[in-house]
Amino acid sequence: MVPGSIALLLLTLLATAAAAAMDPDERETLFRVMEAVSSDRDWRVESPDPCGSPWPGLECKPAGGVGAARMHVTRLDFGVEPNPACKDTAAFPPEVFSLPRLQSLFFVDCFTNPAATTTLALPAPGNLSASGLQQLSIRANPALSGTMPPALASLRSLQVLTVSQNGLVRGEIPPGVGDLTSLVRLDLSYNSLSGPVPTRIGQLRSLVGLDLSYNSLSGAIPGRIGELRQLQKLDLSSNNLTGGIPDTVANLTSLTFLALSNNGLSGRFPPGISGLRSLQYLIMDNNPMGVPLPSELGSLARLQELRLAGSGYSGPIPEAFGQLASLTTLSLQDNNLTGPIPAALSRLGRMYHLNLSNNALGGAVPFDGAFLRRLGGNLDLSGNSGLCLDDRSVLRGVGVGACRGGGDGGISSSAQGSSGNGVMRTSGSLLNLLGPACVAVSCLFAMSEHAPY
């Protein structure tokens, strides 16, 4: 070996040895964090060189110039196996933000003792501004209380912020969250947050996923939400939001998932809603919308689930819904829909769940036996006193011979008249004998398979 290469080898060895060592201050901070959160073991004694032999839940990376390189903590993960478990008296450790190269921080199922609540305490904004933290996930901590600290807005490198399923976390969403312009995902679901959705959320131009569901947010959905052009998933369900769906939502052309169920939203859909070409899920049950169903929804060609139950919709089911070729689930129950069921629905070959119960629909059910068999118990037409089953089409399509046992098989196809039990009008047929427990069309076929003939 030539002397030069020996020198190089020595240099490399030296650099590696140096890299294996941590800055003593950083190591001390890490030990203090471990002691505040986890009592799994005596960290100082059992892991005197943490980055030299990291435990699950700890990741280190070298940083600094050649020769000066040191190992730094880049990821800390608490709470779920195989990561360090949190002790009964675990407290949120503000000093964790002093780890100079920390990129990812997780507390999952960590603060759980109701007798030892702790708060999401952050150092002063000045101590956070140098932070390079990219991912902060604080999830499923029933003993975490207090508010979302405004200082969060100083974590400018954050790409993923999850503060979710911490039932005691309350107060308003700090408007400064709108300054976290690197955010790709923001999930604040299942807390007890109140107050408005901050308008400045419109500044988060890189956002792909926004989930604020299951809180007590109130007021209107800010129009600026339409500026989130990258957004693919928007979930604001189960809050207390009122007003209309802002027209600007029609600008969210990347959306695949839109959920607004269980709010106080009312009024018409935005004009141009048919421009949401990527939309696969439109989940909007239980809002006091109180308008007719817009036929524009029939242009959302990728739609797989359309749920608009319990929202005071009136008028007919638009014929255009029969164009939704990808549709697997259509939930329109508990509205005030009138008129016939569009025959085009029966041609939707992917449909497997159709609930039209508790409306004021009328006329002959346009489904043939094959459609009825395919949906089986996932079809619910009950609670529409004007609906009736066209006996001949059923007999031809499914061969429901058992119906003849009811006498004249006199299932009327007229739209009017009442069945007395709120079920489909089926006077004289077997369906009447099945009693009120059997409220869906599917019961007819479930029974007929066992009928001896």
Ligand X SMILES: *[C@@H]1O[C@H](CO)[C@@H](O)[C@H](O)[C@H]1NC(C)=O
Q: Which of 304, 378, 413, 427 binds ligand X (CB under 6 A)?
A: 378
Q: Which two tokens stand for residue 439?
A: 């409220």
Least distance (Å) between residue 378 CB and ligand X: 5
Stretch that binds ligand X, among 94-102, 138-146, 180-188, 300-308 (CB under 6 A): 94-102
380 binds ligand X (CB under 6 A): yes
What's the per-residue H, E or C state across 170-181?
A: EEECCHHHHHCC
Is-contact 192 169, C-beta < 8 A? yes
198 binds ligand X (CB under 6 A): no
240 binds ligand X (CB under 6 A): yes
Where does 187-294 have alpha helices with state H?
A: none
Cβ-based nearer residue to ligand X, 77 or 380: 380
Kindly report whether the peptide bond that precedes residue 288 is cis, defined as omega within 30 degrees of 0: no
Least distance (Å) between residue 193 CB and ligand X: 11
* H/E run at residue 389: strand 386-389
Stretch that binds ligand X, among 30-38, 59-67, 159-167, 243-251 (CB under 6 A): 243-251
Query: How many residues belong to the site for ligand X (CB under 6 A)?
Result: 25
357 binds ligand X (CB under 6 A): yes
Task: Give CA separation, 200 vs 65, 206, 269, 397, in Å.
Answer: 39, 13, 23, 57
Q: Which of 334, 341, 391, 430 binds ligand X (CB under 6 A)?
A: 334
Cβ-based nearer residue to ligand X, 119 or 314: 314
Q: Which of 250, 276, 341, 387 binds ligand X (CB under 6 A)?
A: 250
Binding characters for ligand X, 204-223, by CB under 6 A (x = yes): ------------x-x-----
Give the C-alpha separation, 16 to 9, whole Å: 11
312 binds ligand X (CB under 6 A): yes
Least distance (Å) between residue 336 CB and ligand X: 4
Cβ-based nearer residue to ligand X, 19 or 173: 173
Binding characters for ligand X, 95-114, by CB under 6 A (x = yes): x--x----------------
In sequence order, the 6+-apart residues with CB closer than 8 A to the CB of 156 are 129, 131, 179, 180, 181, 182
Q: Which two tokens stand for residue 169?
A: 């976390």
304 binds ligand X (CB under 6 A): no
**Residue 347: what are its φ and ψ, rounded to 5°?**
-95, 5
Q: In 3-state terms, what secondary structure has residue 354?
A: strand
DSSP per-residue letters across 74-121: EEEEESSTTSPPPPTT----GGGGG-TT--EEEEES----TTS-EE--
In sequence order, the 6+-apart residues with CB closer than 8 A to the CB of 39 are 87
Q: Which of 94, 178, 386, 409 binds ligand X (CB under 6 A)?
A: 94
CA angle 429, 435, 436 (to 5 degrees): 120
Task: Give CA separation, 92 vs 168, 270, 367, in Å.
Answer: 14, 44, 59
Q: Which of 238, 251, 274, 426 binds ligand X (CB under 6 A)?
A: 251
Cβ-based nearer residue to ligand X, 211 or 334: 334
Q: Which of 146, 150, 219, 290 binds ligand X (CB under 6 A)?
A: 290
Q: Which of 182, 314, 326, 421 binds ligand X (CB under 6 A)?
A: 314
119 binds ligand X (CB under 6 A): no
Q: Which two tokens stand for residue 270?
A: 């935005």
Stretch that binds ligand X, among 46-54, 109-117, 148-156, 331-339 (CB under 6 A): 331-339
Q: For 28-174, where are the E strands, in sequence order? A: 58-63, 70-78, 104-108, 118-119, 135-139, 144-147, 160-164, 168-172
Residues that bind ligand X (CB under 6 A): 94-95, 98, 123-124, 127, 216, 218, 226, 240, 247-248, 250-251, 290, 312, 314, 333-334, 336, 355, 357-358, 378, 380
